Amino acid sequence: MEACLIAFIAGNLVANNFPILFSNNELLVTFIVLSAAIILRQRIFASLLAGLCSVMFMQSLNHAGTIGFISKPVQVNVLGYVSSIPEKSMDSIKFNFVVLCQSEVNLVKHWSAFNCQQLFYQINSSIRLSWYKKAEELKQGQVWALKVKLKPPSGFVNEAGFDYKKWLISESISATGYVVNGSLVKDQTSIRQHWFQQLVEQTRHLDFQDLILALAMGERQLMSATRWLTLKKTGTAHLLAISGLHIGLVFVWLWLFCRIIFRLLVFITNLVSAKNIIQKPRKSVNPDFYAILLALAGAWMFVGLTGFALSAIRAGVFLTVLSVCWLLATRMSWRLRFLLATAVVLLIFPLSPLSISFWLSFGAAAAVISLLWSSQFILTLGPHSTAKVKREFTTVMASKIMPFIFVQVGLLLLLLPLQVVLFQHISIAGLVANLLAIPLVSLFILPCVLLACILFLFNWPLAGWLFEVANLLLEILWAFLTYCAEIKYAYLSLPAQSLSFWSALALGLLLLLLPIGRIYKLPLLLIVSLLFWPANKKGWYLHILDVGQGLAVIVEHQGEAIVYDTGDAFSSGFNLFEAVVEPVLIKRRLQVKAIVISHNDKDHAGGLKYIHNHYPEVPIFKGALACNSINTKKWLALNWWAYSWQVSGVEAVKSNNRSCVIRVGSEKHSVLLTGDIELLAEQQFLQRVDVNYYASDFMLVPHHGSKTSSSEAFIQAISPHSAIISRGRYNRFNHPHKDVIERYRKMGIDIYDTAQYGQISLYFNDAQAAQISYQLQGFWLPWHRKVNQGDLFLTSD
């Protein structure tokens, strides 16, 4: 059975990283082969195919939902309900919306006359929406008729940073977009929304209200960016994200409570029966059986309190399977129970491996199970096998406290490889912070918060006191976390070369454990070492990051970097320097020497506030005078030349035309960074600058490919062999313009587009030709990372 479960899990993981998705016909053929394998009793092969089909079938259902498969931006009329508590910012509201049906007619005006019917095979699609400048109060549970502009799930694709598209697919969100207008159909509020509003009012006076609400309901919309940064630096953010840890703690606490109550009742019943006051029951009641059932019911109630978040549901299913195995008193090993629970979760939610939370939760569960088994084994060899342990205190320490410390430390160490693979860094501060944070949150803060929520439901005054206790404990914890976050080497980042080393080490250990002869192991180990041997590259890099409709460039040489523009920032506090640029800098272990801002537009300078707060020692070059001073710099042992238009006049002072144009290069290679200059600035540039200063091998297409830039004379003067466009997929400006693209193509210039290729990296070495690489494109990319071929140049007339 274990082999079949492992095969099913392996099939699911392969399907989630497969280059293509099966069509309906291919899926039907696979089902036929699966049936044949079952008939022929090829159980392992059948399990492998079942795991493969689970992912393909789920995606087919998603494509056949009420929204269907969206391959390009569309405007549709939908009827549905708000499925999440809306997240409010200064200028917009973000929320999840379940689409019951869509129609060609304008449902905003004629929803009452529309008959909402679905086909029998359709499921309700979930979409992620933004509603800008929304004046009315939007609440979870309300039914709305909306006119929405939708686009396929997409995100930024870089070598590091959060993969938003992958997360959307893992959450079965079919599309994202914004609301054009809408009409309220039914003004009803969910119980969860009502409770959330009541808790907000009850805890408004508390300093750590945001953390309390995150622990109670999984809502982090009140949390400030500073608070979240501290949690991230100390590696304790997992304590605030409702996951398997929280569901498991609720289950354990309820099980212990119910077990004590039931055993007390049984004791009283037996005591009374012994005195012949009542007749002794014929069958003894098993208190553990009912304790597990009630604890499981309480855990699922907590899942409902979190709004049935996918991570919480997965944890609930996992606990349910383990509980059923326990209740049936089956003689299954913990390893088999873990595999069975994991397989059931993947059968119900096949796309779960696309989520980082899945790997963290199930990795932690596997580590805990292994460590509990190890601690029991150690105990059998410890105080029970030695005659020297005589004192009661020492025995208690060895049998109760030491296993807890052993599991705690072991959990941190066992999850280190997973953290390295997922985040490319080790939180040194987290190793210390979690030693206090995990037990304090698990044993004291979370029970106080949840008990306070239950008492608050019945309007008991004790709830307010428990909230105060939780706030006091969080204050103590936060002082400790703040201290840990200020440790000089809180992050130990790992460069790309280190990832190759870890991969080679893992494969090498696997080969050593395989049951094959030594004569075969040595050649295989040699091949693995050669495949992962780090290349000794002495040149310099230029990375054009995928920041959507904006620009961020990193010039890298021997561990140092110059950043040209920072990407956009939004009213919610989200900025692309923190989300995209900084993770790449951390992964590549780069020290920022200077930051150059081409001009003041938000999509180029949005990260300045974050940089001022977190990189105060890094000089920032912004404006014409600062731009011209770059000519004297010798950053990264490269040649730097800069130009900024200083002529007065209406057109001259336009922000785009005042962009700082930079040419960076070595003796044989160069790149021209153009910012957002337009036609008039291009003309002035060609008139005032000697050709020897701007002819380049590569150039950044000005202004994201707008029709107001890239004149024929300008392109001919630069004469690059490749041009790179930084722009957002499905952007509302319809960049790049088709005439601009045609202009470059007519001159035989290769075009690379971040919307199509993701992060684009150039490697230069004067001893060889320039090398270009990118994150997207290629057959062996997983299906969820690929983009539609039609997205390359979405242009307008």
Domain residue limits, the chain: 2-63, 74-189, 197-349+426-492, 355-423, 496-531, 540-782
For residue 537, the model assigns a pLDDT of 65
> Burial level of 82, CB count in 10 A (0-12/13-18/19+)?
buried
- Cα gap 553→694, rounded to integer Å: 18
- Cα gap 732→729, rounded to integer Å: 9
Question: Vertex 690, ends 689 and 694: CA angle to 5°?
Answer: 80
C-alpha distances out from residue 224 to 202, 228, 468, 543, 657, Å: 19, 6, 21, 30, 36
Residue 772 has φ and ψ, to the nearest 5°, of -120, 135
Residue 691 contacts residue 664 (beta carbons within 8 Å): no
Residue 79 contacts residue 145 (beta carbons within 8 Å): yes
- Cα gap 497→502, rounded to integer Å: 9
Helix/strand/coil percent split, the chain, to 5: 50, 15, 35
For residue 413, the model assigns a pLDDT of 66
Residue 393 has φ and ψ, to the nearest 5°, of -60, -45
> Burial level of 719, CB count in 10 A (0-12/13-18/19+)?
middle
- Cα gap 85→610, rounded to integer Å: 28
Q: What is the 3-state secondary structure (H, E, C) of 731-777?
A: CCCCCCCHHHHHHHHHCCCEEEEHHHHCCEEEEECCCCCCEEEECCC
At residue 764, the 3 state secondary structure works out as strand
C-alpha distances out from residue 672 to 15, 612, 630, Å: 42, 27, 14
The segments of the chain whose pLDDT lies below 70 read: 107-122, 135-136, 273-286, 329-330, 367-427, 488-537, 646-654, 788-797
DSSP 400: I
- Cα gap 406→410, rounded to integer Å: 6
Residue 677 has φ and ψ, to the nearest 5°, of -60, 150
Bridge partners for 594 per DSSP? 562
> For residue 599, what are its two tokens?
């001009």
Residues with Cβ within 8 Å of 352's Cβ and at least 6 positions away in sequence, in order, are 170, 310, 314, 345, 346, 358
Residues with Cβ within 8 Å of 134's Cβ and at least 6 positions away in sequence, in order, are 92, 93, 179
Residue 404 contacts residue 414 (beta carbons within 8 Å): no
Give the β-pairing of 620-622 and 591-597. parallel
Task: Tell me the torsion sign for CA atoms 725, 727, 729, 733.
Answer: negative
Closest CA to 14 of 50, 40, 68: 50
Closest CA to 368 of 337, 344, 399: 337
Residue 410 contacts residue 466 (beta carbons within 8 Å): no
For residue 117, the model assigns a pLDDT of 65
- Cα gap 615→112, rounded to integer Å: 56
Bridge partners for 92 per DSSP? 132
Closest CA to 727 of 709, 747, 746, 748: 709
Residue 744 contacts residue 725 (beta carbons within 8 Å): no
Residues with Cβ within 8 Å of 244's Cβ and at least 6 positions away in sequence, in order, are 311, 314, 315, 318, 361, 362, 364, 365
DSSP 229: H
DSSP 549: S
**Does the domain made of 540-782 have the CATH classification 3.60.15.10?**
yes
User: Cα 35 to the chain's mean position, in Å?
Assistant: 37
Residue 77 has φ and ψ, to the nearest 5°, of -105, 125
User: Helix and strand tally (H, E) in the chain?
Assistant: 30, 21
For residue 230, the model assigns a pLDDT of 83
The residue behind tokens 């899942």 is: 303
DSSP 575: B
Bridge partners for 151 per DSSP? 176
- Cα gap 240→230, rounded to integer Å: 12
The residue behind tokens 């037990």 is: 439
Query: In the Cβ-directed half-sphere of 668, how many Cα atoms lie within 13 Å?
Result: 10
Q: Is 146 left (phi over 0), alpha (psi -120 to 50) or beta?
A: beta
Closest CA to 360 of 493, 241, 507: 241
Question: Vertex 20, ends 420 and 753: CA angle to 5°?
Answer: 70
Closest CA to 675 of 658, 689, 687, 691: 658
- Cα gap 342→195, rounded to integer Å: 32
For residue 377, the model assigns a pLDDT of 46
For residue 530, the model assigns a pLDDT of 59
The architecture (CATH level 2) of 74-189 comes to Beta Barrel (2.40)
- Cα gap 182→166, rounded to integer Å: 29
Task: Tell me the torsion sign for CA atoms 25, 30, 33, 39.
Answer: negative
Bridge partners for 187 per DSSP? none
- Cα gap 569→550, rounded to integer Å: 10
Give the β-pairing of 425-427 and 491-493. antiparallel
Residue 788 contacts residue 152 (beta carbons within 8 Å): yes
User: What DSSP assignment string belongs to 3-68?
Assistant: HHHHHHHHHHHHHHT-SSPPPHHHHHHHHHHHHHHHHTT-HHHHHHHHHHHHHHHHHHHHHTSSS-
Tell me the pTM: 0.83
Residues with Cβ within 8 Å of 105's Cβ and at least 6 positions away in sequence, in order, are 77, 114
- Cα gap 380→374, rounded to integer Å: 10
At residue 500, the 3 state secondary structure works out as helix
- Cα gap 497→372, rounded to integer Å: 35
Residue 540 has φ and ψ, to the nearest 5°, of -130, 160
74-189 and 540-782 share one CATH topology? no
Closest CA to 425 of 582, 530, 533, 251: 582
